[in-house]
Amino acid sequence: MRLIARFAKENKNNFEIIDVFDKEVKKHFLDKNNPKIKTLTKKYPAAIWMERKIRDEFGIEFEESFDNRPAIKHERFPKDIYPLRKDFKDKKIEFSKFTPYKYEEISGDSVFTVPVGPIHAGIIEPGHFHFSQAGEEILHLEVRHFYKYRAIEKMMENKNPLEITKIISRISGNESIAYQKAYFNILSKASGFEISENLNKTHAILLEIERIIHHLTDLGFIPNDAGFAAALAYMGKLAEEARRIFKKVTNHRFGFDAIFNNEFDFSSLNNFLDYLKNEIKFFENWIEDIPSVWDRFDTTGRLTKEKAIKYGVVGVGARASGIKIDTRDNDFYKKYGFEIQLGEKGEVADRFRVRIKEIYNSIEIIKNMLDVKKEEFEFSVKDGEYMSFVESSIGELFMYLNIVDGKTDRFYVRDPSHINWQAFHTTIYKDIIADFPLINKSFDLSYAGNDL
């Protein structure tokens, strides 16, 4: 089985651990006075961030865990505060004494460390990358995130589920439509409202535009980080044009609130897609004919199929390693032209080419769906637990909502980046540190989606 998420919630008389797998959901109820449970990390290494986060937020211990360091509780975060417990209501906390964080490092003759971040030279969200180096060669990398702990899960508590759509829309800018769609699906289930094929098509068009824009941006930055800046200029222009079209379609460059506003203008989309297809073909032929770029792409940042499966990797990162995983791989999407796009070796080159192929396929899907009509909807939610899965531009997005007495009792989301960041360090061993930005951009994971 593939692990999708492990998260906790507090009930009146116990704590509950929910393990979501691709084939089943398991629940475990823990004594509030001594909350302990066995770790999943021996079989599922990507559970470690999930468990460390749960420990920091609820005070639940994981027996036999190989890593008990704090995750969200950085050096001056009070250790005796558990922010997702129901009795925590403080809006301000006092810093505690500085406690150094012990990074994973390799020691030895001529081995040294290179810390990068959390503050970066570019316009980028906070994240720390801790390298152990032997000359230019990377021996080990530890990724440390959660610097921007926005308390989104806590923010949702006790709110009307129909009144938090603006927050949902803004959790991660690269995946705003995907987050909205996941939440729309949840509200539909909670209301007993069956989503029509017409509405699903409308949402799919928005999802595919969002995917195209994200891929266009990556296709510029990946060659740029291999020293070919002209690609960034070219694809930056196309990405900006696509953003302007997205604003025409949804009234916002990032599609914020689009699905719930339900006002779309698809009139200019068909001509733009024809134009974009020709531009991508030119770009593909141009890049394929530059040996110096492929000298950097090939053999770099390899994520083997075995490691991708071991860590439960999703999205382009998994498909570029030859794993057939995409939540769009269903009868609905296939009816409108979806075909899963795969790589072979899981290298930067594969992730680059998969993105190009997915843009072509997204264009075809959208063009096959453009006969949509406006359709009204209304929700009246009922208490219960609800889950949703959507293929964002980064990969499988999982969302959970528990409604009690008409209010949000527990909201949880597992961004695809939360899984993929944990496999990222395995791709970089014995590459040179100058290739780190290139490998990083070839995955292009979300900081915001990870740091809830």
Please write the tens of the pLDDT for every residue from 338-362.
999 999 999 999 999 999 999 999 9
At residue 121, the pLDDT reads 79
How many residues belong to the chain? Answer: 452
CB within 8 A of 425, min separation 6: which ones? Answer: 140, 141, 142, 143
Topology at the third CATH level for domain 153-443: Cytochrome-c3 Hydrogenase; chain B (1.10.645)
Q: Which residues pair with 144 in a beta bridge?
A: 128
- pLDDT value of position 91: 84
Residue type at 36? K
State the residue for tokens 């769906």: 369
Instruction: Choose among 450, 415, 423, 418: nearest CA to 439.
Output: 423
Q: What is the pLDDT of residues 81-122, one digit of tens each?
A: 999 999 999 888 899 999 999 999 998 999 999 999 999 877
In angstroms, the CA 420 to CA 219 distance is: 19
Q: In what order do the strands lie in the sheet with 3-10?
A: 3-10, 14-21, 25-31
Distance CA 200, CA 215 (A): 22
pLDDT above 90: residue 316: yes
pLDDT, one tens digit per residue, over 45-83 is: 999 999 999 999 999 999 999 999 999 999 999 989 999
Whole-number pLDDT of residue 123: 79
Instruction: List the domain boundaries for the chain.
Output: 3-102, 104-144, 153-443
Q: Residue 12: exposed, middle, or buried by beta-carbon count in 10 A (0-12, 13-18, 19+)?
A: exposed
- What amino acid occupies position 71? A
Confidence at residue 446, expressed as pLDDT on a 0 to 100 scale: 93
Question: Is the pLDDT reported for residue 429 higher than 90?
Answer: no
Average pLDDT over residues 119-129: 87
pLDDT at 161: 97
Round to the nearest angstrom and report the end-to-end CA distance of the chain.
26
Closest CA to 245 of 208, 300, 289: 208
- Give dist(CA 123, CA 115) in Å, integer: 18
CA distances to 172, 207, 209, 350 from 203, rounded to whole Å, are 17, 6, 10, 28
Sheet hosting strand 407-414, strand order edge to edge:
384-391, 396-404, 407-414
pTM for the full model?
0.96
